[in-house]
Amino acid sequence: MRALVYSGPGEFAVREVGTPVARGTEVLLRVRACGVCKTDVHIHHGHFFAAFPLIPGHEFAGEVAAVGKAVTRVKVGDRVAADNQAACGRCDACRSGTPLFCTRMYAQGVNAPGGFAEYTLVDETRLYPLADGVSFEEGALIEPAACAVHGIDVITPRAGDDALQFGAGGTGLILAQLLRHAGVATLAVADLSARKLALAERLAGAETVAVRRDVPEAHDLELKNRYSGGFDIVIDATGAPAVIQSLPQYAHPGAKLVIYGVAPEEARIAISPYDIFRRELTILGSFSQLGTFPRAVKLVNSGVLKLKELVTHTFPLEGWADALARISGGSDEVKMVMTP
């Protein structure tokens, strides 16, 4: 089979590799779509607990091509989405009830073979049927939807809260929809891209603010003029350290500051501890997903989450360099998908 293989950080090529064989409860999945995520950029550089050699791609859906002898939950031909992660169940984190921080996490596309290949193996327990009418591209977005569901679990928005979110990329637009469904009253979304802001308005009913890199004070002034009382929830969905550092200035006392985007590991920001103390601000992190995939599947299969418009470009495996350049360079694309 053909696969995109990394031999080390920054070193990749499309190669012919052996097609894996399904045994026991394993399923051989023919990958029909695999989402491109900014986390893939971190993995490209060797970060985010990446293990090489590696076939990346952690957001994937496809068709069951073969099954191991012990498989009972799916059959050949089924259309499914795959949860890429499994905790070990034995380490201290798992035994203490926090499996998301498993020290031996099996994460396809990060430290195990993922979906940037024609085929991949997935245990049957991590496969979920796609409803009729849900495309493989939408199915690939269920993994980031599961991350957004976890984000809502972390944030615990109250009905009537006001929220500001910086960033309207694919996962940001999913989170915005869930914030609206959670009962957020005022939802403001700020982004550089007019295309993404239009989607935030249409899919999440958001009020939007255009960000300009050349005049950064413009959006700051607009936000403070339009929302002088501040927000209950202020979210970074960009991963940009400068944006994260700016979050407290838009919060009113008692607000939650949420780091949802993936910042570079080496990044550092400066904050005022007195400000956090005096206004009783809460800083929250929302990392990945584990255990939220089933709920994300229901949200997509039922049509509550609207994902179709998020997919703005597809690439074959040979197009990975182009996809990587676009996502690294701040392209106007909302969600890019590889189609092995």
Q: At what angle do helices 293-301 and 142-155 cross, to 10 degrees?
A: 110
Query: Can you give the pLDDT at residue 329?
Result: 82
Query: Can you give the pLDDT at residue 116?
Result: 98
Contacts (Cβ under 8 Å, ≥6 apart) of 91: 102, 103, 104
172: nearest Cα among 237, 255, 107, 84: 237
**Are the C-beta atoms of residues 256 and 284 closer than 8 Å to each other?**
yes
Residues present in the chain in total = 340
127: nearest Cα among 57, 210, 28: 28
**Are the C-beta atoms of residues 208 and 200 closer than 8 Å to each other?**
yes
Query: Can you give the pLDDT at residue 332?
Result: 86
Q: 282 pairs with which residues across the strands?
A: 256
What is the domain partition of the chain in residue ranges? 2-141+307-338, 146-285
Contacts (Cβ under 8 Å, ≥6 apart) of 271: 245, 248
Tell whether domain 2-141+307-338 is in CATH 3.90.180.10: yes
How would you write the pLDDT of the chain (340 residues) with one tens digit per residue?
Answer: 999 999 999 999 999 999 999 999 999 999 999 999 999 999 999 998 999 999 999 999 999 999 999 999 999 999 999 999 999 999 999 999 999 999 999 999 999 999 999 999 999 999 999 999 999 999 999 999 999 999 999 999 999 999 999 999 999 999 999 999 999 999 999 999 999 999 999 999 999 999 988 888 899 999 999 999 999 999 999 999 999 999 999 999 999 999 999 999 899 999 999 999 999 999 999 999 999 999 999 999 999 999 999 999 999 999 999 999 999 887 788 999 999 9
Contacts (Cβ under 8 Å, ≥6 apart) of 277: none
Query: Can you give the pLDDT at residue 330?
Result: 75
Could you give the CA distance from residue 73 to residue 170 in angstroms, rounded to a whole number?
A: 30
Could you give the CA distance from residue 80 to residue 161 in angstroms, rounded to a whole number?
A: 36
- Strand ranges (E), the chain: 2-8, 11-16, 26-35, 60-67, 79-82, 85-86, 106-107, 119-123, 127-129, 162-166, 186-191, 207-210, 231-236, 251-259, 282-285, 311-315, 335-338
Tell me whether strands 311-315 and 335-338 are parallel, antiparallel or unpaired.
parallel
**Are the C-beta atoms of residues 252 and 280 closer than 8 Å to each other?**
no
- The pTM for the full model equals 0.96
Query: Can you give the pLDDT at residue 213?
Result: 83
Tell whether domain 146-285 is in CATH 3.40.50.300: no
Query: Can you give the pLDDT at residue 88?
Result: 97
